Amino acid sequence: MANGLPNPPCAVLTADAARSLVDSVDAFLFDCDGVIWKGDKLIEGVPETMELLRKMGKKLVFVTNNSRKSRRQYSKKFRSLGLEVTEEEIFTSSFAAAMFLKLNNFSPEKKVYVVGEDGILEELKLAGFECFGGPEDGKKNIKLEADFYFEHDKSVGAVIVGLDQYFNYYKMQYARICISENPGCLFIATNRDPTGHMTSAQEWPGAGTMVAAVSCSVQKEPIVVGKPSGFLMDFLLKSFNLETSRMCMVGDRLDTDILFGQNTGCKTLLVLSGCTSLPELQDASNNIHPDVYTNSVYDLVGLLQK
């Protein structure tokens, strides 16, 4: 870092850079938490930004690591905030988890145990898989009494761990015992985000904290299907006739959004409206640098109209 400025090639978004960026891409991939909204509160200028980019003929796709909702549920959330977004334009880590099993020919005779919420359960059911766990198991307790033996379903062939506000000791033990004792049981993580803007007021522990707990208990690393894994991009490319070099990933996290874009060959735009602050971006220890950064997606509107 020199003169207090970010290390190259990261640069602040200017009017010329904004025009160059928009001219060079056909599609914008937007993260949601911290970019489009915080909790259930829309970030200022998002509708105007989406409208302008669509008028310019750009494809908009929404790629979120938040597994709490399914694509159907996210489409409903977009509509509740006054944004028209179809299910086909939404790619979630819950959907990615279900598609990972489908593309890897997961046996229909096997079940899936879910440490997570309704989004994962719904996507699994839509993909034709039998699953259980989720919020219901958040109500279950364990008493560590003498000779207590924890029963589990030996037909579980995969455990999926995602963001779970109902995470408890029961779920951790169920996941642990399935992964450890059921032969060939897959350990899948929707993502490893340490925190996220689950509400508009502050950040909260992310799915990565649940994943870390289960990972520690089984002494095994999971298969990660959300950002920055390339699996989500592979599936996205099968859905749209686009080249990654003609896409721009817009996100608020360096280690997921920006790294995802870089790993898959996209251009990258970091917005400072979510998890990453300017001091964090400029810190000498940071080695993930977006092509450009700006305060929020709304800056695109002002810069493009200059």
* Number of other residues whose CB lies within 10 A of the CB of residue 62: 23
The annotation places the binding site for substrate at: 227
For residue 206, give the nearest of 196, 215, 197, 216 by alpha carbon: 196
DSSP string, 215-232: HHHHT-PPEE-STTSTHH
The C-alpha atoms of residue 181 and residue 192 are separated, in whole angstroms, by 24
Instruction: Report residue 166 as tokens.
Output: 């109902």
HSE, side-chain direction, 13 A CA sphere, residue 301:
14
* Number of other residues whose CB lies within 10 A of the CB of residue 287: 8
31 is catalytic: yes
Strand intervals (E) in the chain: 11-12, 27-30, 37-38, 41-42, 59-64, 90-92, 111-115, 130-133, 156-161, 186-189, 195-196, 204-205, 223-224, 247-251, 267-271, 292-294
Query: Residue 258 carries which DSSP code?
Result: I
The C-alpha atoms of residue 199 and residue 206 are separated, in whole angstroms, by 12
Q: Which of 16, 26, 31, 147 is catalytic?
A: 31
The annotation places the binding site at: 31, 33, 227, 252
Q: Which of 16, 23, 33, 299 is catalytic?
A: 33
Query: Residue 136 carries which DSSP code?
Result: G
The C-alpha atoms of residue 65 and residue 174 are separated, in whole angstroms, by 23
Name residue, tokens 């870089």.
262
**CA 231 vs CA 165, 227, 276, 291, 303: distances in Å:** 25, 8, 24, 22, 33
The annotation places the binding site for Mg(2+) at: 31, 33, 252
Catalytic (active-site) positions = 31, 33
